[in-house]
């Protein structure tokens, strides 16, 4: 996956303000939740105390509030905020994540892991999987998952952070991982962080959005109690409805439902029944798929489905019938339309989180997209004139990112051989974007994949999913033949042995948490 870097300094130095200072200083965030408080925390850290940051939210307005699975990029965000990892894990009741296990996606009975990190190691200009293709065709290699630390460790329930007492070339020296955590607790944690750094929180509901008559920019918000809140920059974190970006500015929405047909999810937490797995589980169902996200104190569950193929009651029954433990409440139904705003930054409003668009949580991209939006915005941070050049670049980058993630998600649905239900028949036979079709055609030809610019998912992710769902390369890069078959076999076998021995040395996931970052009663 792509790296995600914020600009160099963690704080913008501000000298005494000159007359007619072009810098904007008054930022209003509408909506709390994960998106709002991530933005507030990052702005407080990076922009510093000379910027007035105000967040408006209402405790009467609920958030989606389910257990969240993330990708490794979140570590960069937490590092920017200088958050202590052990404290963060305890406070959010988190567990660790090495990847996602996909069950029954390509065929009934299938199971593969899309793991973070690397597969084997490159040889010269070629990635490991090119050599693996030749060995596999000759019957001299195991499944591709046998050659990645994460994909071997995850099903075995092993976990540790990167070791500092091993050679730099060891797989244990650079372990890629993410987290499962309670999104509500994460928002609370970031709220405390942000308020300590000067962010002002205002309780209340927005009753009216006032626009300037000259240029249509948002001028102020009026709360239900009559309070008027003015700002120069407004960040819309108000959820699906997009209070500012859509209801006030009528930005428009690009719908992806014809490619990603699931439009609802039913969610429920359940009791833990054993040690937490260091991976998210995604199991394909008759008309969608079901997630399982293990936390320290409960398990998060959800069934994402197509309402055109199954009713809400049937979806809830499927969810409840496939829980590992007793449900801790009644199932809740969430409705959504997969897609994105036609502009993510419109005039003086930037949308983050669900206000900017929605990608179903199949590859845990929701929080990443918040983080990426914050990073792009800080890199393109405007002055009071709101340069159209900056806005256009932000929107172009955001559209590109959403469309490439969209293609990766579609891959999971279209690359299936399942024909046992109308839903899977529709997915298997649907037309797909040309960009995705080109990637599949190239990989099927000779196992090659070329990453475009700064798209989120790197070749290692595409390779694992395509192979996991039976997109088999016909051949391999011709430079592979420069390695004699005997050497090739030894190379492949050696990588497998190193990975297996490293996983043997790793502690159980639960033992690692208990030793370093277990949440205690009352903490």
Note the pLDDT tens digit of each residue in 85-111.
999 999 999 999 999 999 999 999 999
Q: What percent of the chain clears pLDDT 70, i.e. is strictly above it?
A: 94
Both tokens of 245, joined, read 């970006």
Residue 1's pLDDT band, with cuts at 50, 70 and 90, is very low
Mean pLDDT for the stretch of residues 329-342: 96
Residue 61: CB partners within 8 Å, gap ≥ 6?
A: 31, 205, 239
Catalytic residue among 75, 97, 158, 347: 97
Which candidate, 145, 114, 139, 119, places its Cα nearest to that of 130? 119
Distance, in Å, from the CA atom of 110 to the CA atom of 104, rounded to the nearest integer, reads: 5
Residue 16's pLDDT band, with cuts at 50, 70 and 90, is low
Residue labelled with tokens 């244990």: 172
Walk me through the domains of the chain, giving residue ranges and CATH numbers.
26-94+181-255+338-404 (3.50.50.60), 99-170+260-336+416-510 (3.50.50.60)
Which candidate, 164, 153, 127, 129, places its Cα nearest to that of 500? 153
Q: b or e along 250-273 (b: 16 or more beta carbons within 10 Å of the residue's beta carbon)?
A: ebeeeebeebbbbbbbbbbbbeee
Strands (E), 147-196: 178-182
Q: Over 50: is that where the pLDDT of 3 sits?
A: no
**CA 111 → CA 104, 128, 157, 191, 305, distances in Å?**
6, 22, 16, 39, 20
Residue labelled with tokens 């084997």: 120
Distance between first and last Cα of the chain = 34
**283-327 pLDDT per residue, tens:** 999 999 999 999 999 999 999 999 999 999 999 999 999 999 999
Mean pLDDT lowest for which of 57-71, 164-178, 441-455? Answer: 57-71
Distance, in Å, from the CA atom of 191 to the CA atom of 179, rounded to the nearest integer, reads: 19
Residue 19's pLDDT band, with cuts at 50, 70 and 90, is low
Known catalytic residue at 45: no
The shares of helix, strand and coil residues in the chain, as percent rounded to the nearest 5, are 35, 20, 45
Tell me which H or E stretch contains 67: strand 67-69
Mean pLDDT of the chain: 94
pLDDT at position 494? 98
Given a contact cutoff of 8 angstroms between Cβ atoms, the answer to whether 234 and 227 are in contact is: no
DSSP 15: P
Helices (H) and strands (E) in the chain, counts: 14, 22
pLDDT at position 522? 57
Strands (E), 107-252: 111-115, 178-182, 200-203, 206-211, 218-223, 228-230, 233-236
Q: Over 60: is that where the pLDDT of 385 sits?
A: yes
**25-68 pLDDT per residue, tens:** 999 999 999 999 999 999 999 998 889 999 999 987 655 555 58
Distance, in Å, from the CA atom of 247 to the CA atom of 294, rounded to the nearest integer, reads: 36
Mean pLDDT lowest for which of 66-70, 133-137, 252-256, 378-382? Answer: 66-70
Which candidate, 115, 97, 117, places its Cα nearest to that of 173? 117
Distance, in Å, from the CA atom of 17 to the CA atom of 494, rounded to the nearest integer, reads: 63
pLDDT at position 6? 47
Given a contact cutoff of 8 angstroms between Cβ atoms, the answer to whether 375 and 5 are in contact is: yes
Residue 8's pLDDT band, with cuts at 50, 70 and 90, is very low
Q: Over 90: is that where the pLDDT of 112 sits?
A: yes
Distance, in Å, from the CA atom of 380 to the CA atom of 486, rounded to the nearest integer, reads: 53
Distance, in Å, from the CA atom of 78 to the CA atom of 344, rounded to the nearest integer, reads: 24
**CA 403 → CA 210, 236, 275, 304, 406, distances in Å?**
32, 21, 37, 20, 5
**475-515 pLDDT per residue, tens:** 999 999 999 999 999 999 999 999 999 999 999 999 999 99
pLDDT at position 10? 40
Mean pLDDT for the stretch of residues 147-164: 97
């Amino acid at each position: 996956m792509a790296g995600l870097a914020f600009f160099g300094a963690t704080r913008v130095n501000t000298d005494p303000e000159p007359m007619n200072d072009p810098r904007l200083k008054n930022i209003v965030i509408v909506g709390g939740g994960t998106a709002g408080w991530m933005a507030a925390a990052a702005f407080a850290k990076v922009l510093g105390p000379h910027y007035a940051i105000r967040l408006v939210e209402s405790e009467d307005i609920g958030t989606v509030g389910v257990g969240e699975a993330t990708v490794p990029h979140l570590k960069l965000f937490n590092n920017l905020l200088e958050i202590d990892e052990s404290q963060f894990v305890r406070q959010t009741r988190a567990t660790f994540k090495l990847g996602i296990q996909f069950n029954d996606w390509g065929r009934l009975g299938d199971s593969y892991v899309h793991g973070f990190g690397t597969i084997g190691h490159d040889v010269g200009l070629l990635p490991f999987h090119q050599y693996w293709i030749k060995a596999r065709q000759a019957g001299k290699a195991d499944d591709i998952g046998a050659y990645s630390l994460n994909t071997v460790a995850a099903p075995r329930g092993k976990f540790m952070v990167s070791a500092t007492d091993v050679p730099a070339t060891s797989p244990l020296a650079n372990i890629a991982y993410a987290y499962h955590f309670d999104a509500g607790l994460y928002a609370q944690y970031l709220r405390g962080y942000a308020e300590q750094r000067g962010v002002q929180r205002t309780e209340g509901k927005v009753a009216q959005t006032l626009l300037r008559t000259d240029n249509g920019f948002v001028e102020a918000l009026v709360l239900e109690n009559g309070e008027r809140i003015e700002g120069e920059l407004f960040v819309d974190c108000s959820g699906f409805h997009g209070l500012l970006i859509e209801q006030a500015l009528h930005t428009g929405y690009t719908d992806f439902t014809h490619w990603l047909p699931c439009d609802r999810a039913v969610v429920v937490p359940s009791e833990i029944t054993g040690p937490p797995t260091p991976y998210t589980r995604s199991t394909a169902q008759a008309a969608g798929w079901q997630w399982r996200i293990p936390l320290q104190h409960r398990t998060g569950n959800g069934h994402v489905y197509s309402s055109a193929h199954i009713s809400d009651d049937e979806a809830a029954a499927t969810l409840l019938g496939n829980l590992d433990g007793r449900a801790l409440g009644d199932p809740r139904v969430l409705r959504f339309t997969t897609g994105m705003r036609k502009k993510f930054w419109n005039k003086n409003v930037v949308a983050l989180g669900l206000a900017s668009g929605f990608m179903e949580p199949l590859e845990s991209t929701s929080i990443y997209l918040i983080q990426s939006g914050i990073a792009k915005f800080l890199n393109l941070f405007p002055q009071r004139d709101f340069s159209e050049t900056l806005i256009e670049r932000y929107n172009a980058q955001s559209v590109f990112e959403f469309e490439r993630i969209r293609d990766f998600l579609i891959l999971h649905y279209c690359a299936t051989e399942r024909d046992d239900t109308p839903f899977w028949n529709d997915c298997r036979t649907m037309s797909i974007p040309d960009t995705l079709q080109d990637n599949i055609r190239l990989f099927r030809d000779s196992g090659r994949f070329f990453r475009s610019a700064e798209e989120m998912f790197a070749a290692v992710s595409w390779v694992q999913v395509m192979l996991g769902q039976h997109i088999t390369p016909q051949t391999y890069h011709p430079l592979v033949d420069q390695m004699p078959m005997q050497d090739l076999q030894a190379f492949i076998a050696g990588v497998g042995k190193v990975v297996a021995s490293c996983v043997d040395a790793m502690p159980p996931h639960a033992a690692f948490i208990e030793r370093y970052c277990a949440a205690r009663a009352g903490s």
